[in-house]
Amino acid sequence: DAKTTQPTSMDCAEGRAANLPCNHSTISGNEYVYWYRQIHSQGPQYIIHGLKNNETNEMASLIITEDRKSSTLILPHATLRDTAVYYCIVNGAGNNRKLIWGLGTSLAVNP
């Protein structure tokens, strides 16, 4: 599975959009990009995933570049409850659902 690179930490003002980048330059054609987050002392929570098209759900939007070498997770109106560690993971589309977790980005949403 391809590796990902994320900034260690980011800050965002409450009510503003939080844009979290991820580089995955070695991603292969059948690998999806997944985003999870982990709020302190809780199990990780799935946010969104995509292959090559941009995706949006009730939690966030995922923008994937045309060459698929990077992506951005967008939280359109960040709240204090969005303070968490955000993980970008790439994973194949086969039966193997193993996820290899990096260190993620620690997002602090400030009042």
Distances in whole angstroms, Cα of residue 37 to Cα of each of 69, 84, 86, 98, 102: 21, 6, 4, 17, 12
Q: Are strands 45-50 and 55-56 parallel, antiparallel or unpaired?
A: unpaired
- Sequence-distant (6+) residues with CB within 8 A of 69 are 23, 24, 25, 27
Give the contact letters, 48-87, x = binds to another protein (CB under 8 A), - = no.
-x-------------------------------------x
Residues 46, 76, 80, 110: which binds another protein (CB under 8 A)? Answer: 46
- Sequence-distant (6+) residues with CB within 8 A of 17 are 74, 75, 76, 77, 78
39 near another protein, judged by CB under 8 A: no
> Of 59, 62, 61, which Cα lies nearest the Cα of 90?
62
Minimum separation from the CB atom of position 14 to another protein (A): 26
Minimum separation from the CB atom of position 4 to another protein (A): 12
Minimum separation from the CB atom of position 33 to another protein (A): 11
97 near another protein, judged by CB under 8 A: yes
43 near another protein, judged by CB under 8 A: yes
Query: Residue numbers of the site for another protein (CB under 8 A)?
Result: 32, 34, 36, 41-46, 49, 87, 97-104
